[in-house]
Every structure is written in structure tokens, then in C-alpha cells.
Amino acid sequence: MMSFSLWDIVRNLLIGGALTLLLSLVAFVLGGATGLLVLLARIGKWRAPRALAQMHIELFQGTPLLLQLFTLFFGLSLFGLDVPAWLAAGLGLTLFTSAFLAEIWRGCVEAVPRGQWEASSCLAMTYWEQMRHVILPQAMRMSIAPTVGFAVQVVKGTAVTSIIGFAELTKTGSMIANATYQPFLVYSLVALGYFILCYPLSHYAKSLERKLHAAR
Amino acid sequence: MPLVSTNRLHKFFGKNHVLRGIKLDVEEGEVVTIVGRSGSGKSTLLRTLNGLESIDDGIIEVDGAKLEVDCADAASLRALRLKVGMVFQQFNLFPHLSAGQNVMLAPQVVKGAAKNETEDIARRMLERVGLSEKFDAFPDQLSGGQQQRVAIARALAMSPKVLLCDEITSALDPELVNEVLGVVRQLASEGMTLIMVTHEMRFAREVSDKLVFMHEGKIHESGDPQAMFAKPETPEFASFIGSLN
């Protein structure tokens, strides 16, 4: 029987951890960009994009991430599209993130007092001028803390992609646990890995919240 | 030809008929004060004059810019708003911008003026309201009175033909009211056309050329403020003045 040193385990987990980090970053950046488009459609004046955005949000908020990934991974291959695990994972998390961020940000846009709309209307600004110069800058400031807070959810959400075989931290952990017969040790290390990624984020979110609230 | 004129103005909030056929003419350089009990429609009337409230019937015309019920599109709204400035009870300054930037924003964005040009305008406007040294201060660093004066400067920077003031001293601490009224008095003496809603009756009497008393969505009595206060024509206005003391 092969034996594994602790370093063997940790080394492999570090590689998985790096992929988790990469996947989180991709999901967050692309999801953020998509989320911004969904947001603009959702709060805009045109009816069709608004309905589409609403559907997008309800679909991805109303179904488990796991099933979204299954649908992408297995569903698309039914149509002859060979979707590699990394692509399904990246795409799935991006869509999931975009729906939640769009909704978080919509809350922030709607929290900007009505007087700001009225004052900028009186100055003859158009809708987009108001958005660009008055509403979004204020909404953005409010959104920083909840957005960073949601980033924690994205990092933890990446664990689900292990089910479709993407070798991020959790998948790597389960493979090592099977090989070493030391599930408690390995999964504890895996959990520690997530904690190391998430703790600074949630700490940062909290301090941002304090700072931005104090400034109001 | 009056600068501002409205005719047959009607407005409903649901089933509530808040404006019942308003005809109001304001000449250039005139200072008009609208008074009345709460719920009489005075603020609503003011807010229809720049399209913040839509109208259900009638016509509004300000210096050639027309707003009618069936053609209240974005272009005519914009044309109207370029002529009409407004100052609010709650100031509504943009909190993420400095005083100077608050004043500069609209000329820059709406009129497409160059930055150095708008900065020049902003400095002049802030000086006009006595706040030239506060160019870089943010709204939360200013007192209520100062914020309101910045809001006036911001409206003036668009060189409006008429300025609407909606209870602009009502949210201020008593000791800050006078600095704002001082600015309004100065604007009036410079010939600015003003339409205001206020509870400062003494001030209204002093600076207004015309007083408009609103009652149940209609202009119930209007005319020279001194004469109206000395000899009210309607029992409603008499009881309104009576309730002030």
C-alpha cells in the first residue's frame, strides 16, 4: 500500500485550492459584468428586457446551483455539445452570480432617495444621465459591503462544481480522502482551505459596512 | 404675454381631485407666493410646473415651452425643465459630489459645457449665494442653510427663466431660515421670476408681488399681498390667516 505524507496531501489540496480561487474570480468578474447588464435591463424602461431580466433572476435564484450545473453539463451534451467540466462550472457559477448580484444591486439602486431622481430631473437630465452621474454612484457605494459579502457565497458555491467532476478544492479533497483513507484529516483541511479564502472577505465586508455606515 | 401661464390645469391622485382647473399667469420678474392649508394642492401645483407631476388636463406654458396632456414627451419635458429651476424642502443635493460639483454637474452633462467653463459658472453661483469658500465642501459638511443655498446655486447655474421654491425653509432650524430667505430676497430684487410655496407669511408679504391662496384644489383668492392680508375677500382666506396667529 502506498503511503502519503501530510505534505503530499497539502500540496495537492493547494492545487485544488488555487482552482477554487480561480473559479471564484472568474465567476465573480464575469458574473458581475453580466449582473450589471441584467440590472440595467431589470430597472430600465423597456418592457421586454425587463421581463427577460426578471425571468433570468427568478430562474437562477429559484433553482439549486447543483441542478443548474447538471443542466448545463448533461443537458447541453444531449444536443451534441461536449461541455468540459471547467466550462460548465464557470458558466453555471457566472449565471448564478449574475442573478444574485443584479438583485442585490437593484436593492441599492432603489434605496437611493426619490429626491435624488427629482432633483436631477429638474435639472433636465435624461434617464441615462441621471443613472450615470447621480443614481449609480450612490448605489455603488451602498452595494460594496453586500457585494463583498456575496463573494463569500460564490467561493463556497464553487464546492458544488465538484459533483460534475471539476477538480477544485472539494473534488481534490474527496479524491485524496479515497486514496489515503483519512477522510477526517483531509476534509478538515479542505474546510480550513475555504475558511482561509472566505474569512478575509467577510471580515472586509464587515469593516466596509462599518465604515460606509459611519460616513452617512 | 406672461412668462408662465397655466390653464384648465387638472390633476388627480387616484380618485382624489387635487387640482381643479388652475389658471395662473406669472409675468417676468414677478414674485408669486402660493399659500394654503396642507392638502390644498399648492405643492402639487408647483410640481406640475416643471413636469415632476404629470397633469390630467390643461396646458402649461413657460417662455414658449409648452406641456400639454397629450404631448408630454421626453423632449417637451426637457425643454420645459431647461426654463424652470426648482429648489426643494429637503435640499436634495447630490451627496457624493462636492458643493462645486453639485453646481457644475447639470451644465456639464445637460448643456455639454466645458469643464473650465462650468467651474467658472459654479464659482460665480456659489459666490452669489455667499458660499464661495465652500466650493470643495461635501453636503454632509455643510449646515442645512448652507446646503439649501448650494441647492439654489445649483438651480441658478442652469440659468432658468423661473425658479420654483417648494417650502425651502421648512426643514431648517429656525436660526438658519434667514440666511436662505436673504438669498431669495436678493434674487427677487435682481428681477428673478419666483414662484414659491412657503409658510413664512411675513416674508411672503414682504417680497411677493402676488399672493395666491389655494383652497380645495382651486385658486380661491389672489392679488396684492398687502391688500389681501389687510382685507381678505373670502371667509376661507380670512380663517386661514386667522389660524396663523
Under the banding of pLDDT at 50, 70 and 90, the label for residue A205 is confident
Which percentage of chain B shows pLDDT scores above 70? 99
Of B4, B64, B30, B26, nearest to B193 by C-alpha is B30
Rounded average pLDDT over A8-25: 93
The residue ranking higher by pLDDT, B69 or B204, is B204
**A114 in contact with B at a CB cutoff of 8 Å?**
no
Summarised one tens digit per residue, pLDDT across range A90-117 is 999 999 999 999 999 999 999 999 999 9
β-pair partners for B62? B4, B65
* Residues of chain B with C-beta less than 8 angstroms from the C-beta of A121: 51-52, 81
The reported pLDDT for the residue numbered A213 is 60
Cβ pair A124:B95 closer than 8 A? no
Q: How far apart are CA B216 and CA B36, in angstroms?
A: 9
The reported pLDDT for the residue numbered A45 is 85
**A123 in contact with B at a CB cutoff of 8 Å?**
yes
Under the banding of pLDDT at 50, 70 and 90, the label for residue B244 is confident
Residue B66 DSSP one-character state: E
> Taking 80 as the threshold, does the pLDDT of residue A203 lie above it?
yes
Which percentage of chain A shows pLDDT scores above 90? 73
Q: A168 and A188 in contact (C-beta within 8 Å)?
A: no
The reported pLDDT for the residue numbered B73 is 85
SS3 content of chain B, % helix, strand, coil (to 5): 40, 25, 30
Query: β-pairing, B193-197 with B84-87?
Result: unpaired
The reported pLDDT for the residue numbered A6 is 86
Distance from CA of B231 to the nearest CA of A (A): 37
Q: A85 and A160 in contact (C-beta within 8 Å)?
A: no
Cβ pair B82:A124 closer than 8 A? yes
* Residues of chain B with C-beta less than 8 angstroms from the C-beta of A131: none
Summarised one tens digit per residue, pLDDT across range A134-153 is 999 999 889 988 999 899 99
* Three-class secondary structure of residue B244 per DSSP: helix
* Residues of chain B with C-beta less than 8 angstroms from the C-beta of A118: 52, 88, 92
> Taking 60 as the threshold, does the pLDDT of residue A1 lie above it?
no
Q: How far apart are CA A130 and CA B105, in angstroms?
A: 10
Distance from CA of B228 to the nearest CA of A (A): 32
**B49 in contact with A at a CB cutoff of 8 Å?**
no
> Taking 70 as the threshold, does the pLDDT of residue A67 lie above it?
yes
Q: How far apart are CA B231 and CA B241, in angstroms?
A: 11
Rounded average pLDDT over B117-137: 96
**A115 in contact with B at a CB cutoff of 8 Å?**
yes
The reported pLDDT for the residue numbered B135 is 97
DSSP A174-216: HHHHHHHS-HHHHHHHHHHHHHHHHHHHHHHHHHHHHHHHHT-
Say which of B52, B74, B154 has its CB closest to residue A118: B52
> Taking 90 as the threshold, does the pLDDT of residue B95 lie above it?
yes
Under the banding of pLDDT at 50, 70 and 90, the label for residue B107 is very high
Rounded average pLDDT over A77-102: 92
Residues sharing a CB contact under 8 Å with residue A47, sequence separation 6 or more, in sequence order: none
Residues sharing a CB contact under 8 Å with residue B225, sequence separation 6 or more, in sequence order: B33, B204, B205, B208, B210, B211
Measure Cα distances from B232 to B35, B178, B207, B211, B222 in Å. 14, 27, 19, 12, 10
Residue A140 has a CB neighbour count (10 Å cut-off) of 14
Cell readout for B241 is 390667516
> What are B63-69's contacts with CB under 8 Å, separation 24+?
B63/B3, B63/B4, B63/B161, B63/B162
With CA atoms as reference, the chain A residue closest to B153 would be: A123
Under the banding of pLDDT at 50, 70 and 90, the label for residue B30 is very high
* Residues of chain A with C-beta less than 8 angstroms from the C-beta of B109: 125, 129, 133
Say which of B52, B81, B95 has its CB closest to residue A124: B81
With CA atoms as reference, the chain B residue closest to A216 would be: B140
> Taking 60 as the threshold, does the pLDDT of residue B61 lie above it?
yes
Q: Is A175 exposed, middle or buried (0-12, 13-18, 19+ CB in 10 A)?
A: middle
The reported pLDDT for the residue numbered A215 is 47
Measure Cα distances from B3 to B112, B136, B161 in Å. 26, 36, 8
Q: B4-96+162-244 in CATH: which number?
A: 3.40.50.300
Cell readout for B201 is 407669511
- Taking one residue from A and the other from B, the number of pairs with CB-CB distance under 8 angstroms is 57
Cell readout for B188 is 427677487
Helices B174-189 and B144-156, packing angle to 10 deg: 20
For B43-192, strand residue ranges (E) read 57-62, 65-68, 84-87, 162-166
For B135-175, strand residue ranges (E) read 162-166
Distance from CA of A132 to the nearest CA of B (A): 10
Of B69, B58, B48, nearest to B10 by C-alpha is B58
With CA atoms as reference, the chain B residue closest to A125 would be: B110
Distance from CA of B97 to the nearest CA of A (A): 9
Of B205, B151, B181, nearest to B33 by C-alpha is B205
Rounded average pLDDT over A194-212: 87
Torsional sign, CA B224, B203, B242, B26: positive
DSSP A137-172: HHHHHHHHHHHHHHHHHHHHHGGGGGGGT--SHHHH
Q: Which ipTM score applies to this complex?
A: 0.93
**A144 in contact with B at a CB cutoff of 8 Å?**
no
Question: CATH number of the domain at A6-214, out of 3.40.50.720, 1.10.10.60, 1.10.3720.10, 3.50.50.60?
Answer: 1.10.3720.10
Rounded average pLDDT over B42-62: 94
Identify the residue whose cell numbers are 448643456: B111
User: pTM here?
Assistant: 0.86
**B73 in contact with A at a CB cutoff of 8 Å?**
no
